[in-house]
Chains A and B, each alone.
Chain A
Amino acid sequence: MADYTIDETVDITDVVCPVTFVKAKVALEELDEGQILSIRMNDGEPVQNVPRSIKEEGHQILKLLDNEDGTYNLIVRKAAD
């Protein structure tokens, strides 16, 4: 059972590095502090790099869910600006 409610979702499976992170960052900037974003990304390079970059920006990673179709959903809580 999830202890959060997803406010917004973004799909970054249609782009490659570094636009993966850029697209996620754009989606996060449109949220308010504390809101939750679910980011759908491909396995491999995106899963290795995007969560780390988002963490470096100060946001809180809540969960990484394996969709078992070669993609993951990263659940992120937005930090203050």
Chain B
Amino acid sequence: MAFSNEQLERYSRHIILKEVGVKGQKKLLESKVLIIGAGGLGAPAALYLAAAGVGTIGIADADEVDLSNLQRQVIHTTLDLGKAKVQSARETMEAVNPDVRVRAYQTFVAADNIMELVRDYDFVIDGTDNFPAKFLINDACVLAKKPFSHAGIIRFRGQLMTYVPGQGPCYRCVFKAPPPPDAVPTCRQAGVIGAMGGVIGSLQAMEAIKYIVGKGELLTGALLTYDALTMEFRKIKLPGNGSCAVCGQNPTILKPFDYEQAGCEIKA
């Protein structure tokens, strides 16, 4: 594929970079990234990936845009209130960059649809806000051999790690199983500073871009934590776990399954 003058201009700041260049930009345009959750994390991740020219972006979310989302979910505007989040996200991404093909999935991800969802993608971004979904995405990506970026945000803190098959621990290696329902508040109950989604979701987009371009080091085998109040980033090395239930030597999880959701987390 040859770049038009318009594309050369649109992607000029990328193409000038030695680490990206023409080849890297072509890889981005040919790549497919799935973003699960069009919320605080998914919004900035989707915007940066669309702007970067990721050729196909899947976005999955069952919710509609409500007023309490707009403090942090910067892909939606006041005019989008009541609209399906995936539709609103699609319109913004297509407006940012017409080179991007957006596939919108207005659904909750669950054990019965996640393998089909992730199958066609090169990289997955976990932008969900609850533990059952995070374990489900981890298990599905391990089983389907898909690299993915995990992240979580709450109050003034955020964290992320990257899983690449065969290159270090998965999310379940480190966290084993979800905490009991309501032992840990969700950001709905605990609050979250809006810009935290911007910081951590942008880092997730950065990991996806580096993976696609094939340059630099990823957060494999490491958890990066960020505390906005003390302004400290910490990179914690994570050991592998040979007895992990999904990616260990004798796995007991052979297909994805759903944990119970805490009652307040699913809106009818």
The distance from the CB of A56 to the nearest CB of chain B, in whole angstroms, is 9
The distance from the CB of B54 to the nearest CB of chain A, in whole angstroms, is 19
B3 near A26: Cβ-Cβ < 8 Å: yes
- Given the interface pairs A22-B15, A22-B16, A26-B3, the reply to whether A15 lies near B22 with Cβ below 8 Å is no
Q: How many chain-A residues does the 8 Å CB contact rule pick out? A: 11
The distance from the CB of B6 to the nearest CB of chain A, in whole angstroms, is 10
A57 interface residue per 8 A CB criterion: yes
- Given the interface pairs A18-B16, A19-B12, the reply to whether A25 lies near B5 with Cβ below 8 Å is no
Contacts of B15 in A (CB 8 A): 22, 25-26
How many residue pairs link A and B with beta carbons under 8 A? The number is: 32
A18 near B12: Cβ-Cβ < 8 Å: yes
Interface positions, chain B 1-49, Cβ under 8 Å from A, are 3, 5, 8-9, 11-13, 15-16, 18, 21-23
A14 near B18: Cβ-Cβ < 8 Å: no
Residue of A nearest to B14 (CB): A22
A23 interface residue per 8 A CB criterion: yes
A23 near B18: Cβ-Cβ < 8 Å: no
Contacts of B11 in A (CB 8 A): 22
B22 near A25: Cβ-Cβ < 8 Å: yes
Determine the main DSSP class of A at the interface with B. helix
Q: How many chain-B residues does the 8 Å CB contact rule pick out? A: 13
The distance from the CB of B214 to the nearest CB of chain A, in whole angstroms, is 13
Determine the main DSSP class of B at the interface with A. helix
- Given the interface pairs A26-B8, A29-B21, A29-B23, the reply to whether A21 lies near B16 with Cβ below 8 Å is yes
A57 near B18: Cβ-Cβ < 8 Å: yes
B18 near A15: Cβ-Cβ < 8 Å: no
B5 near A19: Cβ-Cβ < 8 Å: yes
Contacts of B16 in A (CB 8 A): 18, 21-22, 25
Contacts of B18 in A (CB 8 A): 57
Q: Mark A12-55, 1 if CB is under 8 A from B, else 0.
A: 00110011011101100100000000000000000000000000
B21 near A15: Cβ-Cβ < 8 Å: no
Residues of chain A touching chain B, judged by Cβ–Cβ distance below 8 Å, are: 14-15, 18-19, 21-23, 25-26, 29, 57
22 pairs, CB–CB < 8 Å, chain A vs chain B: A15-B5, A15-B8, A18-B12, A18-B16, A19-B8, A19-B9, A19-B12, A21-B16, A22-B8, A22-B11, A23-B5, A23-B8, A25-B15, A25-B16, A25-B21, A25-B22, A26-B8, A26-B15, A26-B22, A29-B21, A29-B23, A57-B18
